[in-house]
Structure 1
Amino acid sequence: MDRLTEMEAFASVVDLGGFTDAARKMGLSKSAISKHVSSLEARLGARLLNRTTRRVSPTEIGLAYYDKARQVLDDAGEADAMVTSMQSTPRGSLRLSATTDFGVNHISKALGAFLNRYPEINVNMVLSNRNVDLLSEGFDLAIRIGEMQDSSLRARKLAETNMRVIGSPKYFQDNGIPKRIDDLAQHKLLHFSNQSSGNSWKITSSTGEKRLIRAGGSLTVNDGQSLLQAAEAGLGIAYLPSFLYHDAVEDGRLKAVLPDLPVEQLGIHVVYPPGLYTQPKLRAFIDFLVEHFKGKGPESW
């Protein structure tokens, strides 16, 4: 006989206190339930139930076996439910956290195609340059750029982006082109205010040394798109990711300098709490993002 069916018959008898109710629950005859339990006892070589004319109760060994059997049956039920869930139509609400620059320039442009493909899903995207706590703040997933810090989260890589020093041709014509890292001290630098280093840049030198560059500038802002536009307007030099500057460099509006410096590459990941990937709506969105960003970066966007 099937081992799982034997366990289910025994557990049902214990749960309901008798063979009749267990048979009704499982849709079998009372004699079939009795045969399953007897077969289980014979296979184990132990009596699991005390049978009287009035009631049925588990023996001491039966009670210990019941605890393990119930756990196995619950796990099997969850496995069945997971498969059913994974094959169901993706639907429901997704709450997404994304960095402002990447969210505006790339995620928002991809959402139209995703929502057309999955009309029963709605997305609530929150743009923020801080790392939100997914569980406590109610987010299903987040887009993170740079080094992964929270090891408790699951992650899938979407792409990579390069960091480069850029400025407008007009700015370099008026102020000269920096040839070395030390030359940046003589230029106007555009600063990103959310950096932990304050109004300074952290750049890797040709020797691999991390250098902190401090220089004055007329603009400090917590938005990369604003820094990009300021660089295009000739207000100074910016240090930005390729997913922001790529089009401007291609069009000649901006120029990358200091080509001898090591190119810093940052990973772009989608992160989500463990166990949630089985949700059809989340799995559909993550798989869509992986497909959408395939072949993008680190330089070409």
Structure 2
Amino acid sequence: MDVHSLTLLVEILDAGNLSEAARRLKMSRANVSYHLINLEKSIGLQLVRRTTRRVEPTEIGLKLYEHGRTIQNALLAANESVSTLGQSLQGRVRLSVPSGYGQIVMSDWLIEFRRQYPGIVLDVIFENRVEDLLRDEVDIAVRVMSDPPQNLVARDLGPVRYVACASSAYAEQHGMPVRLEDLRTAPLITSAVVGRQLRVAAYLHDDRHEVLLEPGLISENFLFLRKAILAALGVGIVPDYVVQEDIIRGDVVTALDQWRLSIFGTHMYMLYMPNRHHTRATLTFIEFMLDKAHSAGRR
């Protein structure tokens, strides 16, 4: 068994199937399959289970994968140390962030990071789809959730606090919700998951309640939702950072402040793969973001 064989096994299992592994390795599928079969023959054990769509490791395959990943990461780190010797920090970080949090909270942090580290390329995607977390071209994903996946490293960026709010003009003309149940009939402005019934979880001390919502205006774009709230179209249920400045100015007022509201999750997490090699650029970015979240009081 050689290093090349181990790293080939890592690439196959990371890709999930032989065709994708062949594409990444710029080899033919038959060639990848040939090398895998030879590796299994040399060991005398089956390393992966093949289905029509995926390959999954056997117990011994998983152990060899972990060794191969460690070796691959060490080689990548050694190559990076040599190639960047005497140079300023360089590299590329591909980041996936929620549209609202990314634009309203993180954009200034990202600009500051780019100024501080001009040699690092930031490739930022603004999206909200959770199923994209494990896409291989993304180094780091920032997402709202209550319980992060066990197979990912989750760094806490702080709590997400939802508020029930409306413009001062709307509150003066229509009044604000007084009871939690009033949210059922109020003209609501919020975000939702397509095809899923929207519920707001509300916590008061140790008591948890749920209320089904029927919003009149729905969007994943929180900047648009903020405009709709300021236009007095109804009562918004949005994260506090969306309308924080408007509340300070008095343009927006809140209701049900005794309740802790949540729709998609209670915390913002920075997520990344535990066994993937992280470049100096990526590690520097992670620590920079954690420090900014701490300084902003979000951690």
TM-score by length of 1: 0.65
Instruction: Tell me by how many angstroms 1:212 deviates.
Output: 2.5
Which residue number corresponds to residue 284 of structure 1?
A: 284
Which residue number corresponds to residue 175 of structure 1?
A: 174
Instruction: Tell me by how many angstroms 1:291 deviates.
Output: 1.4
Which residue number corresponds to residue 129 of structure 2?
A: 130
Which residue number corresponds to residue 101 of structure 1?
A: 100
Distance verdict in 2 for CA 1:235–1:226, change over 3 Å: same
Gaps of 5+ in 1: 1-71
Instruction: Tell me by how many angstroms 1:277 deviates.
Output: 5.9
Stretches of 4+ aligned residues off by more than 6 angstroms: 75-78
Which entry has the higher C-alpha Rg, 1 or 2? 1
248, 251, 254: which one aligns with 1:250? 248
The answer to which of 77-86 and 145-154 deviates more is 77-86
Instruction: Tell me by how many angstroms 1:81 deviates.
Output: 7.1
Which residue number corresponds to residue 22 of structure 2?
A: none
Once the two structures are superposed, the pairs formed by residues 12-161 of structure 1 within 5 Å of their partners are 82=77, 85=80, 89-161=88-160
Report the Cα distance in structure 1 between the residues aligned to 2:277 and 2:137, rounded to whole angstroms. 15
The answer to which of 148-157 and 75-84 deviates more is 75-84
Identity of aligned residues (%): 21
SS at match of 1:170: helix
Instruction: Tell me by how many angstroms 1:284 deviates.
Output: 0.7
221, 238, 241: which one aligns with 1:240? 238
Distance verdict in 2 for CA 1:269–1:78, change over 3 Å: closer
Which residue number corresponds to residue 39 of structure 1?
A: none
CA contact (8 A) 2:157 2:298 kept: no
Distance verdict in 2 for CA 1:240–1:298, change over 3 Å: farther
Report the Cα distance in structure 2 between the residues aligned to 1:282 and 1:148, rounded to whole angstroms. 24
Report the Cα distance in structure 1 between the residues aligned to 2:236 and 2:171, rounded to whole angstroms. 12
Instruction: Tell me by how many angstroms 1:203 deviates.
Output: 3.0
The answer to which of 133-142 and 115-124 deviates more is 133-142
Which residue number corresponds to residue 187 of structure 1?
A: 186
CA contact (8 A) 2:91 2:279 kept: no
Instruction: Tell me by how many angstroms 1:187 deviates.
Output: 1.9
Instruction: Tell me by how many angstroms 1:155 deviates.
Output: 1.9
Report the Cα distance in structure 2 between the residues aligned to 1:80 and 1:269, rounded to whole angstroms. 29
Distance verdict in 2 for CA 1:266–1:209, change over 3 Å: closer
Report the Cα distance in structure 2 between the residues aligned to 1:216 and 1:280, rounded to whole angstroms. 45
Report the Cα distance in structure 1 between the residues aligned to 2:73 and 2:186, rounded to whole angstroms. 62
Q: CA offsets, 1:79-120, max 9 Å, x none?
A: 697478579553222111111111111222222221122222
Q: Does 1:270 align with 2:273?
A: no
Instruction: Tell me by how many angstroms 1:231 deviates.
Output: 0.9
Report the Cα distance in structure 1 between the residues aligned to 2:121 and 2:167, rounded to whole angstroms. 40
Q: CA offsets, 1:36-85, max 9 Å, x none?
A: xxxxxxxxxxxxxxxxxxxxxxxxxxxxxxxxxxxx9xx89976974785
Report the Cα distance in structure 1 between the residues aligned to 2:266 and 2:187, rounded to whole angstroms. 25
SS at match of 1:102: helix
Distance verdict in 2 for CA 1:135–1:163, change over 3 Å: closer
SS at match of 1:138: coil
Instruction: Tell me by how many angstroms 1:154 deviates.
Output: 1.1
The answer to which of 188-197 and 101-110 deviates more is 188-197
Instruction: Tell me by how many angstroms 1:238 deviates.
Output: 0.8
Instruction: Tell me by how many angstroms 1:160 deviates.
Output: 2.0
Aligned residue type for 2:290: V
Q: CA offsets, 1:149-181, max 9 Å, x none?
A: 421111212222211111111111111222101
Instruction: Tell me by how many angstroms 1:193 deviates.
Output: 3.5
Aligned residue type for 1:288: F
Distance verdict in 2 for CA 1:249–1:111, change over 3 Å: same
Distance verdict in 2 for CA 1:214–1:117, change over 3 Å: closer
Aligned residue type for 1:97: S
